[in-house]
């Protein structure tokens, strides 16, 4: 019996109940989902919930996937929505404090709030610069940002870009982004692998 290996074959087979195809999809894209959770700085338990909920959403919608080659983007977007939903719910949690701890908590909260606001401002600037990149650069960097070890063949197929040009194009796009960011007065640490 022929085992599906291409993404289109895997999605079609999984939609028809093939457990091996489903397992292959999960194995292929689990690291993508975990990287989205890590990018949102979730705890391991929260990231596990996001990953699980994303797989459940795919399972519910598997028979409706019309473009299997777009599955990595769909999974990343769904995981991102799950992260944001979880973070919004967390933001509504109310902490009750002991009056004796009040002054200490205010200082800690104030410092955390300052850091959070600075980080948010930096992120706004970064995404503003990101949106000034060409559409091709934006699409390429979005795909590469969500995967720890992207499969260049799949990236090539989904973006219509030769495999050999992905790395050099990525470098040019990141260089342009660094230049745009530098013009804003912000300096971002390199070495994280992500803009």
* Torsion, CA 47, CA 38, CA 153, CA 165, rounded to 10: 160
Integer Cα distance of 91 and 52 in angstroms: 21
CB neighbour list of residue 72: distance below 8 Å, 6 or more residues apart: 29, 32, 143, 146, 147, 154, 158
27-70, pLDDT tens digit by residue? 999 998 998 888 888 888 899 999 999 999 999 989 888 888 88
Establish if 138 belongs to a structural domain: no
Closest CA to 131 of 92, 176, 94, 99: 176
Q: What is the mean pLDDT of residues 14-26?
A: 93
Give residue 144's pLDDT. 87
Q: In Å, how far are 5, 26, 43, 67 from 70, measured between CA atoms?
A: 16, 15, 28, 6
Q: Where is pLDDT greater, at 169 or 107?
A: 169
> Is residue 152 in a domain?
no
Write the DSSP string, 30-50: HHHHHHHHHHTT--HHHHHHH
Which of 41 and 2 is assigned the larger pLDDT?
Answer: 41
Q: pTM for the full model? A: 0.48
User: Residue 78 pLDDT more than 60?
Assistant: yes
In a domain, 73, yes or no: yes
Distance CA 134, CA 136 (A): 5
In a domain, 72, yes or no: yes
pLDDT of res. 167: 92
Determine the Cα–Cα distance for residues 194 and 192; give it in Å rounded to an integer. 5
pLDDT at 116: 64
Mark out the alpha helices in the chain (DSSP H runs): 7-15, 19-39, 44-61, 71-91, 102-131, 135-145, 152-159, 163-184
pLDDT in tens, 85-137: 888 887 654 444 444 444 444 444 445 555 666 677 777 888 889 999 999 99
Contact 151, 63 (CB under 8 A): no
Residue range(s) defining the domain that contains residue 83: 1-94
Domain of 12: which CATH number? 1.10.1740.10
What's the total number of domains in the chain?
A: 1
10 is a domain residue = yes
HSE (side-chain half, CA atoms, 13 Å) at 38: 12
Residues in the chain: 195
pLDDT confidence bin for 25, thresholds 50/70/90: very high
Tell me if 74 is assigned to some domain. Answer: yes
Residue 78 belongs to some domain of the structure: yes
pLDDT of amino acid 82:
92
Mean pLDDT of 64-79: 89
**How would residue 18 be classed by pLDDT, with cut points 50, 70 and 90?**
very high
């Amino acid at each position: 019996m022929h085992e599906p290996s291409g993404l289109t074959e895997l999605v079609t087979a999984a939609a028809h109940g093939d457990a091996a195809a489903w397992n292959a999809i999960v194995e292929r894209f689990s690291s993508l989902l975990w990287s989205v959770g890590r990018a949102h700085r979730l705890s391991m338990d929260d990231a596990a919930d996001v990953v699980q909920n994303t797989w459940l959403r795919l399972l519910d919608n598997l028979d409706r996937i019309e473009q299997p080659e777009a599955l990595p983007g769909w999974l990343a977007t769904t995981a991102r929505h799950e992260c944001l939903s979880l973070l919004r719910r967390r933001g509504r949690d109310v902490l009750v404090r002991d009056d004796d701890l009040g002054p200490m908590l205010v200082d800690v909260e104030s410092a955390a709030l300052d850091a959070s606001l600075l980080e948010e401002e930096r992120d706004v600037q970064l995404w503003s610069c990101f949106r000034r990149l060409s559409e091709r650069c934006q699409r390429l960097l979005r795909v590469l940002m969500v995967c720890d070890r992207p499969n260049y063949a799949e990236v090539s197929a989904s973006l219509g870009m030769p495999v050999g040009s992905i790395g050099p194009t990525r470098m040019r796009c990141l260089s342009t982004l660094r230049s745009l960011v530098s013009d804003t007065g912000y300096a971002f640490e390199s070495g994280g692998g992500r803009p």
